[in-house]
């Protein structure tokens, strides 16, 4: 089933398939292969969209139909001080998306992480009141969503509000502590006011876990019942080679589409490195102790592992394609292995290989298996 496509592509084309120059116009791309099924997206960094890495930019725009800023639309980047917004880096994504006819996804408005401390403090440094924080949230959402009105297709309005364990459904975050459990409803309502046409999403990791998924279903059902304007749910999908099972992945898609929500795979990657912790918890604050045995592929991913990774991607995309009526977008969390957050998480300085494109910006077997999955689906 994978990567049959390699067999019928001439080697020169395989080598050059990622670049626009010197490649036959007919060279297949992810973007064209998934056209008609769902958007195929990529998270990019500021350097790539602002001209600092032209080769990466060319590959991204050629292969992908949607772009998410990996960091540059987070509160910390856009609104570092109470009276200061800085839209320069974020504007570059809007320009890049427009120039390349890619759907722009806003990430993210309300999150407990990457939000400056002042947001949660009153004038004297004490904790802000509910009223103050609600006003700040509304002002921020209006300024940011308002600026990109008509340019952003959809926003990750609230990110990672659910807990990973314990009795509480919601995570113990400053948003919840200060505003209360209705902080999600409020954020979605503010976003709707600011751009009535943008799609609004709830985004989280680990939703393949039964407890977290059913908590998420309850949370979103409650919001829908209260008339909160929510259009979709992002299942981040920071995965490993064996986990979660395809069955859980499919159950997750179905659980949310049964609520009538669009389902998006928003941050897909497949960690290939060993872990002694719980790799399904993609919380950036989770850290593990490193040693050399936990960093085995410093000089490259062996062929056998490349095949395993390619098979994992083929299997995942066969689930997504089978559910393409519910899945609106699949976004890879990074363009290439050289730029993935997984080189630094949960142990700093490792050499990970979780994406479709390698450090030299060459397509991996996993790239061709994702391309091939779309073709197989089409030929069925």
Active site members: 160, 267
Decide if residue 72 touches ligand 9MR (CB under 6 A). no
20, 99, 246, 284: which one binds ligand 9MR (CB under 6 A): 284
Tokens standing for residue 311: 């098979």
- Contact predicate 288/346, CB 8 Å: yes
Q: Of 246 and 284, which has the nearer Cβ to ligand 9MR?
A: 284
Task: Give buried/exposed letters for 194-219 (b at 16+ CB in 10 A, else e).
Answer: bbeebbbbbbbbbbbbeebbebbbeb
- Beta strand 238-240 with 232-235 is unpaired
Q: Of 35 and 114, which has the nearer Cβ to ligand 9MR?
A: 114
Decide if residue 236 touches ligand 9MR (CB under 6 A). yes
Residues forming a β-bridge with 158 = 110, 202
Angle between helices 88-99 and 54-63 (to 10 degrees): 50
Q: ∠ CA(43), CA(44), CA(49), 5° rounding?
A: 145
Phi, psi of 334 (to 5 degrees): 130, 150
From the CB of 340, what's the least distance to ligand 9MR, in Å? 8
Phi, psi of 87 (to 5 degrees): -100, 0
Decide if residue 12 touches ligand 9MR (CB under 6 A). no
114, 127, 129, 278: which one binds ligand 9MR (CB under 6 A): 114
Q: Of 185 and 267, which has the nearer Cβ to ligand 9MR?
A: 267
- Range 159-178, binding ligand 9MR (CB under 6 A): 159
Decide if residue 355 touches ligand 9MR (CB under 6 A). no
Could you give the CA distance from residue 104 to residue 117 in angstroms, rounded to a whole number?
28
Decide if residue 68 touches ligand 9MR (CB under 6 A). no
Decide if residue 341 touches ligand 9MR (CB under 6 A). yes
Region class of 347: left (phi > 0), else alpha (psi between -120 and 50), else beta: beta
- Range 194-213, binding ligand 9MR (CB under 6 A): 205
Q: Of 63 and 236, which has the nearer Cβ to ligand 9MR?
A: 236
Q: Which residue is nearest to ligand 9MR (CB)?
A: 341
What is the DSSP code (8-state) at residue 334? -
CB proximity list for 186: less than 8 A, separation 6 or greater: 134, 137, 138, 179
From the CB of 119, what's the least distance to ligand 9MR, in Å? 15
Decide if residue 240 touches ligand 9MR (CB under 6 A). no
Q: Of 203 and 318, which has the nearer Cβ to ligand 9MR?
A: 203
Q: Which residues bind ligand 9MR (CB under 6 A)?
A: 70-71, 113-114, 159, 205, 236, 267, 282, 284, 341
């Amino acid at each position: 089933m994978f990567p049959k496509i390699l067999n019928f592509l001439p080697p020169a084309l395989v080598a050059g398939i990622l670049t626009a120059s010197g490649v036959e116009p007919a060279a297949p791309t992810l973007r064209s292969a998934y056209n008609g099924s769902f958007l195929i997206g990529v998270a990019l960094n500021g350097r790539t969209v602002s001209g600092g890495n032209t080769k990466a930019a060319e590959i991204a725009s050629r292969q992908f139909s949607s772009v998410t800023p990996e960091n540059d639309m987070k509160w910390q980047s856009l609104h570092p001080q109470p009276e200061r917004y800085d839209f320069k880096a974020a504007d570059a994504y809007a320009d890049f998306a427009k120039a390349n006819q890619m759907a722009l996804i806003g990430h993210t408005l309300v999150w407990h992480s990457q939000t400056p401390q002042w947001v949660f403090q009153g004038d004297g440094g004490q904790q802000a009141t509910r009223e103050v924080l609600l006003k700040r949230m509304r002002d921020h959402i209006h300024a940011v969503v308002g600026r990109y009105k008509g340019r952003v297709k959809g926003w990750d309005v609230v990110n990672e509000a659910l807990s990973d364990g314990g009795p509480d459904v919601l995570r113990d975050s400053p948003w919840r502590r200060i505003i209360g459990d209705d902080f999600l409803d409020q954020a979605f309502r503010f976003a709707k006011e600011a751009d009535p046409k943008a799609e609004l999403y709830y985004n989280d990791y680990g939703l393949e876990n039964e407890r977290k998924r059913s908590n998420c279903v309850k949370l979103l059902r409650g919001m829908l019942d209260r008339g909160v304007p929510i259009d979709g749910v992002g299942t981040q999908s920071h995965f490993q080679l064996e986990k979660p099972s395809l069955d859980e992945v499919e159950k997750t898609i179905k659980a949310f589409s049964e609520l009538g929500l669009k389902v998006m795979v928003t941050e897909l990657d497949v960690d290939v490195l060993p872990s002694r912790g719980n790799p399904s918890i993609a919380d950036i604050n989770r850290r593990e102790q490193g040693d050399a045995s936990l960093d085995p592929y410093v000089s490259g991913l062996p062929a056998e592992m490349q095949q395993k990774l390619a098979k994992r991607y083929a299997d995942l995309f066969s689930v997504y394609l089978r559910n393409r009526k519910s899945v609106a977008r699949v976004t890879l969390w990074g363009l290439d292995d050289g730029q993935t957050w997984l080189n630094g998480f949960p142990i700093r300085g490792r050499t990970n290989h979780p994406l479709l494109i390698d450090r030299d910006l060459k397509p991996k077997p996993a790239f061709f298996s994702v391309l091939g999955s779309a073709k197989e689906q089409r030929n069925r």
